[in-house]
Amino acid sequence: MTEFRSGFVALVGRPNVGKSTLLNHILAEKIAIVTDKPQTTRNRIVGIKNFPAAQMVLVDTPGLHSPKGQLNQKLVEISQAAWRDADLALVLLEAGNARLRSGELEILNRARAEQIPFLVALNKIDQLAERDGSYLSRLPMAAELKNEFALEKERLFFISARDGVGVESLVREMLARLPCHPAYFPDDIQTQMSERFWVQEVIREQIIKLTRDEIPYSVAVEIDYYRDLEARLSIGASIYVEQDSQKGILIGRGGSMLKKIGILSRQAIEAFVGIPIFLELHVAVARNWTRDAAQLKRFGYDQE
């Protein structure tokens, strides 16, 4: 009889390397927001994938980077804690890069020093000129991984998280490396995130996509009320920025920007929950909140 396997897999890498896209692809469900801007993920996002003889608990972490300011420091701490506690780390790198960057070297060196089991996936092969196996194996980064970290081919994968290329074989190897252990969660649960938290993230996703410059990195969303009215949901949320000028940009002329954020957020939430919703948005200033420890804790960035 096959022993049941279950364990935690931390998705680790620099910002915008494709961790959230890979999580969503494996789960076949969007539970993590995805944009083209770095540092979109701010919390540990836990997704649960069940198999006939295994349960894989995937932990999507904020991108590791050189922290500037208290918010970024908190994001790095959240990420480091997640992958240190995992049974397996999956380090995602961009296949097209010429060589490993300092932050990536730090991740790999730390995993080796602390004896954290890890696999490496070179992502975004869909952006390369060629994708055949012989070409991929000759990529400069692949050679560096083999030479500097003695990374055997069984631990190195070439994937496109966006298209799903190579993901199936990667998942098989991840499952094979999970410890024999009973399931951590019931098999009808796909994420630890509450619906309220997911709604916050959807609203923040629309803001990130519709704004630019410093706005995406200065926004926090807080749910004011969340009422289940049988045939529909009634949700109120406050969007916090750091400065009055940012508040004006988010509201827009005649409320045009806030209206657009509201429409797109409502459509995304309705598609997920399957019933009509009423969504009320309000913009307020929490001055310099990304540099205020008390405000960071208030908005949920105090995870260890």
Residue 72's pLDDT is 52
pLDDT at 65 over 50: no
Q: What is the CATH number of domain 195-298?
A: 3.30.300.20
pLDDT at 70 over 70: no
Q: In what order do the strands lie in the sheet with 156-158?
A: 45-51, 54-60, 5-12, 88-94, 118-123, 156-158
With CA atoms as reference, report the closest residue to 91 among 104, 76, 77, 73.
104
Tokens of residue 156, six digits: 């190195």
Burial 63-98 (b: 16+ CB within 10 A, else e): bbbeeeebbbebbbbbbbebbeebbbbbbbbbbebe
Task: Give the lowest-confidence range in 16-30, 60-74, 202-216, 236-250.
Answer: 60-74
Rounded average pLDDT over 69-90: 66
CB 122 within 8 A of CB 45: no
Q: What is the CATH number of domain 5-176?
A: 3.40.50.300
pLDDT at 79 over 60: no
Alpha-carbon distances of 126 from 29, 101, 164, 189, rounded to whole Å: 21, 21, 10, 32
Residue 44's pLDDT is 66
Convert the pLDDT of each residue in 175-210 to its tens digit: 999 999 999 999 888 887 788 888 998 998 899 889
Rounded average pLDDT over 153-167: 92
Residue 180's pLDDT is 96
Mean pLDDT of the chain: 84
Convert the pLDDT of each residue in 133-150 to its tens digit: 677 778 888 888 888 888
Task: Give the lowest-confidence range in 26-40, 113-127, 286-300.
Answer: 26-40
Rounded average pLDDT over 85-97: 89
Residue 66's pLDDT is 45
pLDDT at 62 over 50: yes
Q: Where in the chain is the domain with CATH 3.40.50.300?
A: 5-176
Task: Give the lowest-confidence range in 65-69, 274-278, 299-303.
Answer: 65-69
* pLDDT band (50, 70, 90) for residue 222: very high
Rounded average pLDDT over 227-238: 91
**Please, which residues bridge with residue 234 across strands?**
227, 278
* pLDDT band (50, 70, 90) for residue 93: very high
Residue 43's pLDDT is 58
pLDDT at 251 over 70: yes
Q: Where in the chain is the domain with CATH 3.30.300.20?
A: 195-298
Taking the C-alpha atoms of residue 99 and residue 251, their distance in angstroms, rounded to an integer, is 43
Residue 300's pLDDT is 75
Task: Give the lowest-confidence range in 17-31, 51-65, 259-273.
Answer: 51-65
Residue 250's pLDDT is 93
Residues belonging to the chain: 304
Convert the pLDDT of each residue in 118-138 to its tens digit: 999 999 999 887 777 677 778
